Amino acid sequence: MAEHDIIDMMMHHGVKPTANRIMICGALDKAGRPLSMGELETALGSVDKSVISRTMALFRERHLVHTIHGGGDEMCYELCHSHADGEDEDTHIHFWCRNCGKTFCLENIPIPVVSLPAGYEEESSNYMVTGLCPDCRKKCN
């Protein structure tokens, strides 16, 4: 995504585009998959950990990123490409590799419909598949 597209996306979500915020948003876009805080810190070596943490809190508050509870202990973050403020049409399945610890988006796989019993009201869902990614699977063979 070009820098002006990143700025437009940030503005759409009510986030003031500072230099660090643009870099952080750009790193998430460039990765093309959800990143943990540690992976973000590595990708943004020159940006202080506390700046990244505060920025991710703002991005979550403004629905600029999704948070994903992966198969590991860390929370992962990915850009939200939803166009609606109240409804998220950017939902998809995620895959966590138990070998390398990376989380991947599986956007072209239909999300199973879950019918909840009477009295339950869904607020969010997190569909995570775990196993070996293609690279790790090749290494194991």
pLDDT at 109: 85
Identify the H or E element spanning 96.
Answer: strand 93-97
pLDDT at 88: 52
What average pLDDT does the segment 119-141 reach?
87
Do the beta carbons of residue 133 and residue 97 sit within 8 Å? yes
DSSP 24-84: HHHHHHHH-S-EEHHHHHHHTTTS-HHHHHHHHHHHHHTTSEEEEE-SSSSEEEEE---S-
Is residue 95 over pLDDT 60? yes
pLDDT at 122: 84
Of 52 and 69, more confident? 52
Q: Which domain holds residue 64?
A: 3-140
CATH number at residue 37: 1.10.10.10
Is residue 89 over pLDDT 80? no
Number of domains into which the chain is organized: 1
What average pLDDT does the segment 88-103 reach?
81
Is the entire prediction scored with pTM above 0.95? no
Do the beta carbons of residue 37 and residue 56 sit within 8 Å? yes
What average pLDDT does the segment 20-48 reach?
93
Short-list 38, 41, 12, 11, CA closest to 24: 41
